Amino acid sequence: MSTSEFYLPEGLPAPAPAPDGLDKPYWEGVSVNKLIVQRCKGCKTYQWGPEWVCHKCHSFDIGWEEVAPKGVIYSWERAWHPVHPALKDHGPYIVVLVELPHAGNIRMIGNLLGDPKQDIKIGANVEAVFEHHTGSKMPYTLVHWRVTK
């Protein structure tokens, strides 16, 4: 699932791949609507955000694995006060912390699409929506979430 509408106005800091190359597979994945996260080749531990070493077994041989782009809402916040010029006059927006039970319960941050004043339920099922910013000098993709029935 992808969207061409932007949830937040442009002008916020854009994500850039780490200069050391650590998270390259993630950014390449989201650009083609795939959620790709770290999974240790040795002990099979899922890991997010990315690290150079497996926190469980200390292997440096960490693989990347595509996971189903879905999860459950673990926590949320609704921001009202604008702390960035790009958000001035924008109004409230929702941030969710999404847990991926099928990928070692790793968590990801994104925005929750839909009415910014909607009721939010911890535990609700959500699916990823890929928001492509292709017009930027350095194109990037954000991963948002939408409640599923």
Q: In this chain, which of 77, 88, 91, 139 binds other proteins, going by CB under 8 A?
A: 77
Residue matched to tokens 């770290």:
38
User: Which structure tokens are listed for 95?
Assistant: 């941030």
**Judged by CB under 8 A, which of 106, 113, 126, 129 binds other proteins?**
106
Is the CB of residue 44 less than 8 Å from the CB of residue 61?
no
Residues in the chain: 149
Sign, CA dihedral 66-68-71-76, equals positive
Q: For other proteins, what does the binding mask look like between residues 110 and 139, x meaning CB under 8 A?
A: xx----------x---------------x-
| Contact positions vs other proteins (CB under 8 A) | 8, 12-19, 23, 48-51, 55, 74-81, 83-85, 87, 92-93, 95, 97, 106-111, 122, 138, 140, 142, 144
